[in-house]
Structure 1
Amino acid sequence: MKKRLQKMTFAFLACLLAAGVLQLPKKAYAQDNLDIHAKAAILIDADNGQILYEKNADQALGIASMSKMMTEYLLLKAIHEKKISWDQKVTISDYAYHVSQKRDLSNVPLRKGEKYTVKELFQAMAIYSANGATIALAETLGGTEKNYLNMMNKQAKTFGLTNYKFVNATGLNNRDLDGMQPGGTGSTEENLVSARSVAKIAYHLIHDYPEILQTTSIAKMKFRAGTNDEIAMQNWNWMLPSLVYGRQGVDGLKTGNTDYAGYCFTGTSKQNGMRIITVVLHAEDANGKSTMKARFDETNKLMDYAYNNFTEKTLYPKGYTVKKTVSVKAGKEKQAAVATKAPLIVAVKNGEDKMYKQVVKLDSKQITAPVKKGMKVGTLYAQYTGGQELGYLYGPKSANVALVTKNDIEKANWFVRMMRGIGGFFSGLWQHTVGSLF
């Protein structure tokens, strides 16, 4: 009777599955098909570099004026190191003057030989993407744009960038520089960087110098207000809340456009306590044409996906004690308790809270006393079990946090160590004797 009932139940479930009434749960994956119309794109959690989506993220493509994020970073670094000050005066070179007069490019016209403050030029670059102002700042940082390129490439290595090539400070095609491009670069070359590497630049810019957002969030500003040179600047990031394609929470970061690069955008926004960074390269509309609106439309898709599907959650709090312990040689205590150094926070997809497996990896099975509280002894990983992990901009695929010792452990005195040694000797001797007998 029981077997017959089981057969009837299985048959009934099979009918429901065939009819589509009952569906087996689908395996979750870290990335959905968003149909992003761009040659490349990436979406990351800005707090920890967790990748939430990527498309063709490692191909070097044109990034146009998004190159200026490197100048923003290097300038803010020089400010923090007190090598340059905001009030420092910059004299405009023939080169910077010449490029600044090209109104078909993004520019604020500069006067040859005139002095401008670093802050004025920085605001023109960050808000209005002014190319002449960028060249003036590059020359201030490096002496010449060629020397400045060396600074860019050195910083790129520090960031761990891959698949990139910088040929100038502005992101323009070198042909727009009328033969004044940095020595050693081609007359029609242009900066090429992968979406992943662009995200790394933005990640470091926001983390190391968060004050950048105070400038990139300015929608409108007047250059040299109250003077004969006054020019109204509107931010090219039209996703700022008060502009054409405004979205609440957006406060940066940098647009770019050339014929070769198409329309590009590195965006950042914060909503419900979660900050994200998005990158789209050569964004296209439904007809395959790269347009200004397309870069914001595709960015909106990425931002909607992040905020509608992910929530930052603390999987393990700071001080969470794991079950594994570390053996302590010559210590008053033989085992050291181990805990997380910081909270392990992950952008968790809706409904996937339980899809993380705890994995503890210790650096060594034994440490030697004395032991200081907070000594790193391993790593706690939260391994995603719902499918492929996209990983992080830096580090391994799985979310992780350092494991440290919970307490100080003093070295045992000589008598205790001696008795342990004697005990260990006789224990070993006994085991050997018993083993030989049996």
Structure 2
Amino acid sequence: MKYNMKKSVSLFLAVLVLLTTVTVQPFSVQSAETPDINAKSAILVDAETGKVIYAKNPDMALPPASMTKMMTEYLVQEAIEKDDISWDTKTKISDYAYSISANATFSGIGLRQDKKYTVEELYNAMAVFSDNGTTIALAELIAGSEGDFVKMMNDKAKEMGLPEYEFVNSTGLANSSLGENAPEGTDSNGNNRLSARSAALLAYNLVNDYPQALEVTSQTKTEFEGYTVENLNWMLEHDSVNLEQFYYEGIDGLKTGFTDMAGYCFTGTAKKDNKRYISVVMKTDSKGARFKETAKLLDYGFKKFENQEIFPAGYQLEGKSDIPVSKGKEDSVQVATSQAFKAPVIGEQSENYSIKYKLDKDKLNKDGKLAAPIEKGEQVGTAQVVYNGKNDYGYIFPNADKQSIDLVAQKGVEKDNWFMLTLGAIGGFFGNIFNTVVDTVKGWFN
């Protein structure tokens, strides 16, 4: 009896463990698949391919606050690349920039008007401490006035293809806070507007076009006017014990933002194991919340996704890669993809991808054949990558087909010589006559 009791208890415990595994484990896996982000709007993007792997209200245009400065950073980097200015270029501080800098509510770093500052000094204060006065000073240096700089910002946003945007100043402050200094040509009560998708695309361009910008945004502190200012990005490795909870390995940017209207925002980027992600959260509840929500997004990317080569370069569709050729020394030519196709995927998600050929109609005759001559490596169409799974958020780039690969000829096909072409034409002519005669004779006996 005692033995049977032990056996029953063991059996009961085994069943209980099994039930716990069955009922609890799938729930935890399910909840980990798609993070619950406490922000009005959010997005996560693979920085290599531009693939969006998470989105929540990504196209809602909201005030971005100081995330605006990513565009100012981009235009400064571009001006340096064009040799319009250099890091050592010096500039004086205008009354406008000085008045903003002297106001502590505007992240005032305390500029002086009795000296000149280098572009590097101003840029560091802007990118690390999010200072508004130094931002205005840079805008005035590059464009002559902040009003003209705003035009450059909007032109660059259009060039980048940002889907939802409006820039009315270089800093992200509300124009109403600037009073009579609101940039000329803008609404005196206007606000900058960006969607999470637009902020992510702006960050994507900054990170990929000017990766050196991360050398600045990854600094936890910078020296200015003899004192030290701290980076407002708490996810960096700060010395403060109070900020240890927000530290995230691999983070090296990018820009915080806050106004009463915008709430707490953050565009973050981190790199681990040769993978980089860009995240945006907008209108979170607190300074700390924006970083905690960002950590959720980045964890989702790094822990769940793997960049895989879905289709290698030279990939061919079985039975469909032999394309007939007209007027060539060869009757057909093999085609294949010119480059590999990569995408961030979870588990066996790669099996949801397939390819369809789309030949260039301008290179086909009425019979659907490619006309010779054909050069080796010549593009004859595209291979369209199709995703047949769920939750496909597409790419960060608007109106850009990032899921198509050039389809190229694997060898050259020379045009047949005139004699062979003539024989073929004669053969075709008499062949048509013969077929007509046969059809006519058949008709006599029907």
Task: Pick the TM interval, shorter chain.
Answer: 0.7 to 0.9
User: Which AA in structure 1 matches 2:396?
Assistant: L
Is the deviation greater in 265-274 or in 180-189?
Answer: 180-189
Aligned to 2:337: 340
Aligned to 1:351: 348
Q: Displacement, 1:51? A: 0.9
Aligned length: 404
Aligned to 1:422: 426
Residue 167 in structure 1 maps to residue 168 in structure 2? yes
| Counterpart secondary structure, 2:181 | coil
Q: How big is each residue's C-alpha offset from its partner over 1:325-377, in whole Å with a ceiling of 9 and x where there is no partner? A: 44444433343322222210011112323222222222234544443333332
| Counterpart secondary structure, 1:298 | helix
Q: Displacement, 1:165? A: 1.4
Q: Equivalent of 1:320, from 315, 324, 346?
A: 315
CA–CA distance in structure 2, aligned partners of residues 233 and 434 of structure 1: 95
Q: 1:154 to 1:398 in 2, by over 3 A?
A: closer
Q: 1:415 to 1:39 in 2, by over 3 A?
A: same
Q: How big is each residue's C-alpha offset from its partner over 1:158-199, in whole Å with a ceiling of 9 and x where there is no partner? A: 111222211100001123323201023233321111111111
| Counterpart secondary structure, 1:297 | helix
Q: Displacement, 1:135? A: 0.6
CA–CA distance in structure 1, aligned partners of residues 438 and 162 of structure 2: 61
CA–CA distance in structure 1, aligned partners of residues 438 and 356 of structure 2: 38
Q: Equivalent of 1:376, from 375, 379, 395?
A: 379
Is the deviation greater in 54-63 or in 169-178?
Answer: 169-178
CA–CA distance in structure 2, aligned partners of residues 277 and 357 of structure 1: 27
Q: Displacement, 1:265? A: 0.6
Q: How big is each residue's C-alpha offset from its partner over 1:290-325, in whole Å with a ceiling of 9 and x where there is no partner? A: 201110111111111112221100011223234424
Q: Displacement, 1:221? A: 1.8
Q: 1:260 to 1:333 in 2, by over 3 A?
A: same
User: Which AA in structure 2 matches 1:411?
Assistant: K
Aligned to 2:192: 191
Q: Displacement, 1:47? A: 0.9
Query: What residue ranges of structure 2 are gaps of 5+ in the alignment?
Result: 1-20
Which structure has the greater CA radius of gyration? 2
Is the deviation greater in 65-74 or in 325-334?
Answer: 325-334
CA–CA distance in structure 2, aligned partners of residues 315 and 272 of structure 1: 19
Residue 295 in structure 1 maps to residue 295 in structure 2? no
After superposition, where does 1:9-28 map in structure 2 within 5 Å? none
Q: 1:259 to 1:156 in 2, by over 3 A?
A: same
| Counterpart secondary structure, 2:120 | helix
Q: 1:271 to 1:381 in 2, by over 3 A?
A: farther
Aligned to 2:15: none
Query: What residue ranges of structure 1 are gaps of 5+ in the alignment?
Result: 1-19, 224-228, 284-289
CA–CA distance in structure 2, aligned partners of residues 402 and 100 of structure 1: 52
Aligned to 1:109: 110
Higher helix share: 2
Q: Displacement, 1:113? A: 5.1
Aligned to 1:239: 235
Q: How big is each residue's C-alpha offset from its partner over 1:103-162, in whole Å with a ceiling of 9 and x where there is no partner? A: 222232221252111121111111111111111111122111111111111111111122
Could you say what the CA RMSD is over the residues aligned between the two structures, in angstroms? 2.7
Q: 1:425 to 1:87 in 2, by over 3 A?
A: farther
User: Which AA in structure 2 matches 1:97?
Assistant: Y
Q: Is the 8 A contact 2:53 2:392 kept in 1?
A: no
CA–CA distance in structure 1, aligned partners of residues 261 and 346 of structure 2: 36
Aligned to 1:206: 207
Is the deviation greater in 112-121 or in 422-431?
Answer: 422-431
Is the deviation greater in 190-199 or in 75-84?
Answer: 75-84
Q: Is the 8 A contact 1:93 1:113 kept in 2?
A: no
CA–CA distance in structure 1, aligned partners of residues 253 and 434 of structure 2: 71
| Counterpart secondary structure, 1:354 | helix
Aligned to 2:17: none
